[in-house]
Homo-oligomer: A and B are copies of this chain.
Amino acid sequence: MNRILNHPDRMVEDMLIGFLAAHNGSVVATGNPRVLKSIYAGAPGRVGIVSGGGSGHEPAFLGYLGRHLLDAVAVGEVFSSPSAKSFADAFAAADGGAGVVCLYGNYAGDNMNVKMAMRLAEQAGVRVEAVVANDDVPSAPAQERERRRGVAGEILMWKVAAAHAAQGGSLEQVADAARQAIAHTRSMGIGLSACTIPAAGKANFHISDGQMEVGIGHHGEPGVQVLPTASARQMAELMLETLLADLPLQQGDRVALLLSGMGATPLMEQYILYGELSAQLQVRGIQVDRPLVGNYFTALEMMGASVTLMKLTPELAAGLDHPCQSPAWTVGALPC
């Protein structure tokens, strides 16, 4: 393990110092050191958008704080849920009187803490609706979708919900937009190397050189099978077969495609995989309308990639196209 840090137990704290220093024009601290908010948070009458989760997935979650995207984020330790108190403080930071949606990933710790935080918020008079992302197909069968993990598809859910909030949607409308977004979204990942939490000092899982873990989770959760490392073309086939079995698409359908590197995968290789996915979708008569390629949701220095498909309706496409600005993702044309 050869890493950039001061002390393994102080990584999150030190990261937040650097993040705030780098983005001090758009993101600010709050009274809770584990809650950051956008300078646009708490706009009166607008529904607030909150997310949060363990650290080590950067730019998720804090890199999406910004205009027409996340208002406040609860920050956990590396690969650990934020506390209920932090989620509750994030709700308070994001509330502008119209309520808050909490859009987060389906993990036991996050579920428990969000639930507790919602009780705290209720006592404080802040209305909160939670929508949990469960886009990770290999993590449970379709008939048990409520057991599936949330992975990079979360980002598309934030975007669509934030667009609705920016356009004046009510709490119910924004939450419903988030539900629609995640219902149309499926993801899966392939891992090529393990990652090490510096405080642990060694990886808690293993991937052999020459093998790939198909369906790996963002914390190294085991996938559905271990196979010899395939070509980019075969990886794309395998991923699309799995995703499309779960999210049937027909010729003429349009999708958003988010390919995220897991941390150590060169962007060159992400584009190679994207090229294969794009070509294979085209053969099936499916058009990729909103491609995103890059390190959008990572797992420390894991090698591998996740692929997320969102079946586009006109409403979802409009949500993705709505302008936003954040450190990790900006949408919108420049003024001429």
Contacts and interface: CB of A to CB of B under 8 A. Distances in A.
Given A2-B212, A275-B18, A291-B21, A268 B333 contact: no
**Total copies of the chain:** 2
B335 A3 contact: no
Interface stretch (A94-102, A147-155, A229-237): A229-237
Interface in A217-238: 229, 231-233, 235
A112 B335 CA distance: 40
A303 to B, nearest CB: 6
18 contacts: A1-B209, A3-B269, A4-B265, A14-B272, A15-B268, A15-B272, A18-B270, A18-B274, A22-B278, A22-B293, A63-B267, A263-B264, A266-B300, A266-B301, A267-B295, A323-B334, A325-B333, A325-B334
Interface string A35-47: 0000000000000
B56 A272 contact: no
A207 B2 contact: yes
Interface string A1-27: 111111100011011111101110000
Contacts of A109: none
Nearest to A190: B4
Given A2-B207, A22-B291, A232-B4, A15 B298 contact: no
A253 interface: no
Interface residues of A, number: 71
Given A17-B275, A325-B333, A330-B330, 4 more contacts: A4-B235, A7-B231, A21-B279, A55-B268
A269 B300 CA distance: 9
A112 to B, nearest CB: 24
A6 B55 contact: no
A139 interface: no
